[in-house]
Structures are given as C-alpha cells and as structure tokens.
C-alpha cells in the first residue's frame, strides 16, 4: 500500500491529453493553466472530480478538487465494455446450465399432481414410523418378548423383519396411490442391466472418502451436546461381539433392504415427480434434502444430502434404478466395513 507522503510527490497525469483542445498552448504543461485557458467546455463532455493530494494538509482538512472532463466517446466505450462483460457472465451461466441439463437429461412425463406426491410421501413417513415404533414392537410384545431381551442374533432378525415390513408397506402405498395412472410411462421404476452406467457408479464410489470427510465436518458444525449419552446401536454391539450370524443379518439390512426401499421412494418416485414443477437439477437437490431429513439425524445432514445428489445424478443419467441402488448399497457396505475395523 502506498503512503500519503509518496502520493503527494507523484505528478497527476491527465487521462487523455490528446482529447483536450485549447488555444495558444503554452510551452510548459500545467493543469491549472489548462483550466485557466478553458473556463468552459462543450456540453457534450462529462464532468468528474479528481482528488488533488498537493492541497491536502492537516490544517486544511477539506481536500481541494480540480475538475476535468472525460470525453463522451471514452465513457461510452467503458459502458459498452461493462455491458459486454455482463453479457459474457450471462452467457457463461447459460452454457453451464445447458451443460448440467444435458448431463442429467430432461424431465419425466408426470401424470399426477403435487397432491399425489404429497400424499405418497406423507403416507410413507407415517407407515415407516408406525411399523417401526408400534406395529412390530407390539407384535413382539404379544409374542412374549421385547427387542431389548433378545440376543444379538434375535435383535438382528428383529431389525430385518422391521425393515422388510417397512419396505413392503412403502411399495404397497406407491401401488395404491398410483393405480389410477396405470399404465405408467416406460421410464418409470425401470430396472435394467443394460446401459453405460458402470462408469457413473465407479465415479460415485470414488467420492466416498469425500462423503466421509463431509460427515466429520458436519459433526464439527453440529457436535453432540455434552449431556447427550453416547450409546452403541445394536449393529455396533453385534460387531463388537463378533457374532457372525448377527453381522450377516445386519449386512443384509443395510446393504440390500434399505437401498432398495429408499431408492424406490426417493429416486424412483419423488425425484421424477418433482420434474413436473422444476428442472431436473432442482428435483435432484430437493429429493436429496428429503432423503437426508428422512434419516432423522441432523449430525449427518450434509453427507446425506451430498450422497443423495450423487445417487440422483446417477439415476437421472441412466433412467434406471439399478445403478443408484448399487451405489447406495456400496456406500452402506463401506460404512458397515468401516465399523468393523
């Protein structure tokens, strides 16, 4: 940064001397003599002020100003450059949006409205909560046992039955709510081994370490409260006990059941349905937020949103649920193996 002392000894140069016209040009250049000989300039010149450092002193706190005029042509040129710069930014953003649109494809043909979308999602959340918190525990109680009294194998089987029941209930809700719209278009709930989607799945797997780092960052932003008791889940307890049967049952739950049910609801139904009201990239983001909220864990919101976006892009590019299910399964398996270390 330059000091005011150094600035006071630097000469002030006119912006463009060739643009000034005045009679009887004196042999020595002086800004003050220019304006003495040019008391009035034409109205086509634009007036601006320039601070003169020579007249500034502690005794004279008000700076003196000298006036000079900028040619209108130069101002118009600068305005044109600024306008062109804005147009460049707009065109760049448009090109980026077009690139994203080409990457994720166009929207789906959605025969139902927002009312059906909301109905399906609310019924799915209610069924998920009712089955996991009331129906299965009540059935276990009527059978004469509770989950807490079970062995590791029993708890793993209990989780498997709960997860399968929740998944089947979700599929039943989808079938009932969408029955009036059958037959559905061919790109709805599509499962296929065909297509060039293996590269997208592999690229998604390369992002797993970043998702893990994002999880640590989320915990830094929203740490657990000191008063919150740290408890081990039944999965972690079975891993610590090294019960092979329990670990195998939990692996089925986290690597097969959960990815299938969740992908059918969030990528198979919600994401395409939202494209009736918004672009595909917006539908990917909104469905990813809903996917993260459905896990009821604020300490994992950021990694779940990002993971949902990755799986949403894979699904939108392939129009196939199998790649996103496979990626989801691989992620859950990655977490499960990480717990086993």
Higher pLDDT, 65 or 129: 129
In a domain, 12, yes or no: no
In a domain, 15, yes or no: no
In a domain, 240, yes or no: yes
Q: Tell me which residue of 149, 208, 232 sits closest to 333, measured CA to CA.
A: 208
What letter does residue 49 receive in the DSSP assignment? E
Question: What pLDDT sits at residue 44?
Answer: 44
In a domain, 39, yes or no: no
**pTM for this prediction:** 0.69
Higher pLDDT, 147 or 324: 324
Peptide bond into 90 cis (omega under 30): no
Q: What is the residue-wise DSSP string for 285-303?
A: HHHHHHHHHTTT-GGGHHH
Question: What pLDDT sits at residue 144?
Answer: 87
Arithmetic mean of pLDDT, 147-174: 92
**Which of 140-154, 242-256, 283-297 shows the lowest per-residue confidence on average (mean pLDDT)?**
140-154
At residue 93 the predicted structure's pLDDT band, cuts being 50, 70 and 90, is low
CB count in 10 Å sphere of residue 216: 9
What letter does residue 224 receive in the DSSP assignment? P
* Residues in Cβ contact with 7 at an 8 Å cutoff, skipping those fewer than 6 apart: 53
Number of residues written out for the chain: 341
CB count in 10 Å sphere of residue 15: 13
Q: Using CA atoms, how far apart are residues 189 and 177, in angstroms rounded to an integer?
A: 15
Joined together, the tokens standing for residue 87 give 């147009």
For residue 22, pLDDT over 50 is answered with no
State the residue for tokens 């090109």: 95
Q: Assess contact for 241 and 152: CB atoms under 8 A.
A: yes
User: b vs e for 152-161, b when ≥16 Cβ sit within 10 Å of the residue's Cβ?
Assistant: bbbbbbbbbb
Cα torsion for 240, 242, 243, 248, to the nearest 10°?
Answer: 100
Return the top range by mean pLDDT from 38-42, 126-130, 228-232.
126-130
153: domain range? 112-222+233-340
**Which of 51-55, 106-110, 246-250 shows the lowest per-residue confidence on average (mean pLDDT)?**
51-55
User: b vs e for 107-135, b when ≥16 Cβ sit within 10 Å of the residue's Cβ?
Assistant: bbebeeeeebbeebbebbeebbeebeeeb
In a domain, 314, yes or no: yes
Q: Assess contact for 254 and 235: CB atoms under 8 A.
A: yes
In a domain, 252, yes or no: yes
Arithmetic mean of pLDDT, 131-152: 89
Higher pLDDT, 186 or 256: 256
Q: Using CA atoms, how far apart are residues 73 and 5, in angstroms rounded to an integer?
A: 35
At residue 112 the predicted structure's pLDDT band, cuts being 50, 70 and 90, is very high
Higher pLDDT, 279 or 77: 279
Domain count of the fold of the chain: 1
Judging by beta carbons within 10 Å of its beta carbon (0-12, 13-18, 19+), is residue 338 exposed, middle or buried? exposed
Question: What pLDDT sits at residue 143?
Answer: 87
The mean of the pLDDT values for the chain is 79
End-to-end Cα spacing for the chain: 55
Query: SS in 3 state form for 303-340?
Result: HHHHHHHHHHHHHHHHCCHHHHHHHHHHHHHHHHHHHH
Question: What pLDDT sits at residue 194?
Answer: 87
pLDDT tens-digit profile of 216-229? 999 888 776 665 55
For residue 9, pLDDT over 50 is answered with no
In a domain, 203, yes or no: yes
Arithmetic mean of pLDDT, 298-303: 90
For residue 154, pLDDT over 50 is answered with yes
Q: Assess contact for 278 and 286: CB atoms under 8 A.
A: yes
For residue 99, pLDDT over 90 is answered with no
At residue 241 the predicted structure's pLDDT band, cuts being 50, 70 and 90, is confident
In a domain, 297, yes or no: yes
For residue 199, pLDDT over 70 is answered with yes
At residue 2 the predicted structure's pLDDT band, cuts being 50, 70 and 90, is very low
Segments in the chain forming alpha helices (H):
4-8, 31-37, 72-104, 114-130, 136-142, 152-177, 198-206, 208-221, 234-241, 244-252, 258-262, 271-274, 280-293, 301-318, 321-340
**Which of 22-31, 69-78, 202-211 shows the lowest per-residue confidence on average (mean pLDDT)?**
22-31
**Which of 27-31, 266-270, 314-318 shows the lowest per-residue confidence on average (mean pLDDT)?**
27-31
């Amino acid at each position: 940064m330059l000091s005011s002392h150094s600035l006071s000894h630097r000469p002030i140069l006119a912006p463009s001397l060739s643009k000034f016209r005045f009679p009887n040009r004196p042999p020595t250049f002086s800004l003050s003599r220019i304006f003495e000989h040019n008391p009035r300039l034409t109205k086509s010149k634009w007036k601006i002020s320039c601070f003169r450092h020579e007249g500034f002193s502690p005794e004279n706190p008000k700076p003196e100003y000298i006036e000079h005029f900028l040619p209108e042509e130069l101002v118009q040129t600068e305005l044109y450059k600024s306008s062109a710069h804005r147009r460049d930014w707009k065109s760049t953003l448009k090109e980026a949006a077009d690139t994203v649109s080409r990457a994720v494809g166009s929207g789906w043909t959605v025969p139902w409205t927002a009312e059906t979308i909301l109905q399906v999602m609310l019924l799915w959340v209610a069924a998920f909560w009712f089955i996991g918190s009331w129906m299965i525990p009540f059935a276990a109680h009527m059978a004469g046992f509770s989950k807490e009294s079970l062995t590791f194998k029993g708890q793993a089987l209990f989780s498997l039955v709960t997860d399968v029941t929740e998944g089947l209930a979700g599929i039943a809700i989808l079938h009932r709510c969408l029955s009036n719209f059958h037959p559905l278009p061919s790109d709805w709930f599509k499962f296929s081994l065909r297509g060039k989607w293996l590269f997208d799945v592999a690229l998604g797997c390369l992002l797993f370490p970043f998702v893990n780092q994002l999880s640590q960052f989320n915990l830094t932003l929203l740490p657990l409260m000191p008063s919150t008791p740290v408890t081990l889940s039944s999965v972690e307890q079975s891993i610590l006990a090294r019960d092979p049967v329990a670990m195998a049952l939990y692996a089925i739950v986290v690597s097969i059941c959960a990815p299938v049910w969740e992908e059918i609801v969030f990528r198979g139904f919600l994401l395409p349905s939202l494209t009736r009201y918004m672009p595909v990239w917006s539908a990917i983001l909104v469905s990813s937020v809903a996917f993260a909220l459905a896990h009821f864990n604020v300490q994992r919101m950021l990694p779940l949103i990002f993971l949902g976006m990755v799986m949403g892009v894979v699904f939108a590019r392939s129009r196939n649920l199998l790649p996103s299910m496979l990626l989801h399964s691989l992620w859950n398996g990655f977490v499960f193996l990480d717990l086993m270390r």
